[in-house]
Amino acid sequence: MTRDELRKHLNFYQDLGVDEIYLRPISSPDSVEGATLTATTAIPSLAPEGDTLLKIRQDIGDDCRRCRLCEARSKIVFGSGNEQSSLVFVGEGPGADEDAQGFPFVGRAGQLLTQMIENTASKEGIPIRRPDVYICNVVKCRPPENRTPQPDEMEICGQFLFRQLMAIRPKAICAMGSTAAKALLGTKEGVTKLRGKWHKWRDIQVMVTYHPSYLLRPYNQDAKREAWEDLKKVLHFVYD
């Protein structure tokens, strides 16, 4: 990485509210000041020391203009639920209802998600309700026409998602749909291949499953059954 690239990188994190980052020791003894920094330079620890959801929300600001999604959004949808939860659900981005209300998963897909969480937990004898988990999205502003977020939008807003996850430090994350899976696992592999197995984001267990909107389509009965299986696995892992 050149000095100029490094400066841009640091400015980017500063803009996100990260004031301090730490360099792990550079492995090559030849890397001295003034030389080009090698790829072994580990950049961010991403989150400021003692980061909190409140600080992250403040860093986003009330009128975030970091990407083009600001142009059509009404409300920034940060996240909701138990901020100390051991389980975080991550979706793609707000839809029309979420954009209007400012909370994630409050439309039809959200109602299904609530049912899935509460019915599965109740059947499995796990005493949790939706407010006991934390729910958020990869991007915090509604993409026009509910299109899939673009890579640069995911990258910019994804840094806030990462800070949210590091601040909460759940025991497990449930990534719903391919956008969440891609943001957390950096893979282009589809949900069908990834679902039902444990993956990792940093040192946190990640279960990938279908997005509730996909399950709302009438012909996806098999996927519905599989999503229930995935959820059972997550709930038992977290709450047993």
Smallest gap, in angstroms, from Cβ of residue 56 to ligand URA? Answer: 17
Give the contact letters, 53-92, x = binds to ligand URA (CB under 6 A), - = no.
--------------------------------------xx
The single residue among 109, 161, 174, 223 that binds ligand URA, judged by CB under 6 A, is 109
Nearer Cβ to ligand URA (1/72)? 72
Backbone φ and ψ for 205, nearest 5 degrees, come out as: -70, 135
- Residue least distant from ligand URA (Cβ): 91
Nearer Cβ to ligand URA (48/79)? 79
Cβ-proximal residues to 42 (8 Å cutoff; 6+ apart), any chain: 23, 24
Residue 142 CB coordination number (10 Å): 25
Smallest gap, in angstroms, from Cβ of residue 137 to ligand URA? Answer: 5
Residues of this chain that interact with ligand URA (CB under 6 A) are 91-95, 98, 104-105, 107, 109-110, 137, 213
